[in-house]
Amino acid sequence: MTGFGRGSVDAGERRLRVEVRSVNHRGLDLKIRSSDPDAYCDAEIARAVRAAVERGAVTVQIRDETADAAGGVDEGRVRMLHEVLERLRQELEIEEPVSLTTVGAYMASSRGGGLAGEALWEVLRPAVTEALRDLQVMRAREGEALAADLRIRRERLVDLAGALQAGAAKLPQKFAERLRERLGALARDVAVDPARVAQEVALMTERLDVSEELVRLDTHLDHLGAILAGRGSGRGGPEKAVGRKLDFLIQEIGRELNTIASKAQDAAMAALVIDAKAELERVREQAQNVE
């Protein structure tokens, strides 16, 4: 699911802004971007993101708002630092002159008080927490809209499953009628043994039987409805890993539909299966956005 969150925090003379963005992805793809990367801090940010997000392409951006707000160079401070460093150079009898690169490096290191590692993470933690909280709120709103759409599509699948069940009940009679028509066309002057016809109809009825597939299809659709209603965990708590469970159920529903079409050998049943698979594909597309 898509989302955005932002948080800011003061770090010495700097004000750091943390932005978290997410877009749809089958798994969790995390990228952390900062002008001053810190391995310890990046590891803690990754741990916090994984605790809050299960699926999505997530980008965490850490910006220095102080530098952005300055919009230019503090000439007075640069001159002051240059004078101080130049005086020290002369006192220490260092031959190499003080350059702007040296002044800039000193300013960059002194702004945050030299924060790094665990100390930097403790400063950034509130901003990361705030950004992830905002991200989750936005993703939750999108999730509600997706759930409403998926419930509508699931109801359509339930209706199609009911039509398949009704069509399956007529298969033996339809086969018997087709068999009699063919026998009548092949042997108009030959008597047909009704017992033999009944036996063939019974054998074909067993082959055409899709009752087991229909029962499993109903079970999968019931489970899908329970997940969309937030009851899929079976423990009274919030549902976890909904997206992956939806992926599995969609795969199983598709398998049952394919088997029904293959066994039924009926044009009307095949048309219903095509409609159901088209609706299921729409469910699959939406499920890719669900965490």
Query: Tokens 């969609």 belong to which residue?
Result: 250
* Averaged confidence pLDDT in the chain: 80
User: With 70 as the cut, is the pLDDT of residue 244 above it?
Assistant: yes
Q: Give the pLDDT of residue 74.
A: 62
Q: How confident is the model at residue 79 (pLDDT cuts 50, 70, 90)?
A: confident
User: With 90 as the cut, is the pLDDT of residue 219 above it?
Assistant: yes
What ranges do the domains of the chain cover?
141-287
Q: Give the pLDDT of residue 233.
A: 47
Pairing relationship of beta strands 28-34 and 56-64 according to DSSP bridges: parallel
User: With 60 as the cut, is the pLDDT of residue 62 above it?
Assistant: yes
Query: Residues near 236 by Cβ (< 8 Å), separated by ≥ 6?
Result: none
Model pTM? 0.60
Query: Tokens 């993101």 belong to which residue?
Result: 49
- The dihedrals phi and psi of 5, each to the nearest 5 degrees, come to -145, 150
Q: Give the pLDDT of residue 236.
A: 43
Higher confidence at residue 80 or residue 61?
61
User: With 50 as the cut, is the pLDDT of residue 16 above it?
Assistant: yes
Q: Give the pLDDT of residue 135.
A: 92
- Alpha-carbon torsion, ordered 288, 289, 290, 291, to 10 deg: 100
User: With 50 as the cut, is the pLDDT of residue 67 above it?
Assistant: yes
Q: How confident is the model at residue 235 (pLDDT cuts 50, 70, 90)?
A: very low
User: With 70 as the cut, is the pLDDT of residue 213 above it?
Assistant: yes
Q: Give the pLDDT of residue 237.
A: 41
Whole-number Å distance between alpha carbons of 286 and 227 = 14
The token pair at 8 is 């800011």
pLDDT-wise least confident of 85-99, 233-247, 257-271: 233-247
Q: Give the pLDDT of residue 205.
A: 60
Q: Give the pLDDT of residue 32.
A: 92
User: With 90 as the cut, is the pLDDT of residue 272 above it?
Assistant: yes
pLDDT-wise least confident of 120-124, 214-218, 228-232, 247-251: 228-232
pLDDT-wise least confident of 66-75, 113-122, 165-174, 240-249: 66-75
List pLDDT tens digits, range 95-108.
Answer: 888 887 877 766 66
What is the rounded average pLDDT of the residues 267-272? 90
List pLDDT tens digits, range 133-149.
Answer: 999 898 888 888 888 88
Q: Which of 143-152, 182-191, 268-277 has the highest mean pLDDT?
A: 268-277
Whole-number Å distance between alpha carbons of 198 and 177 = 11
Q: Give the pLDDT of residue 220.
A: 94
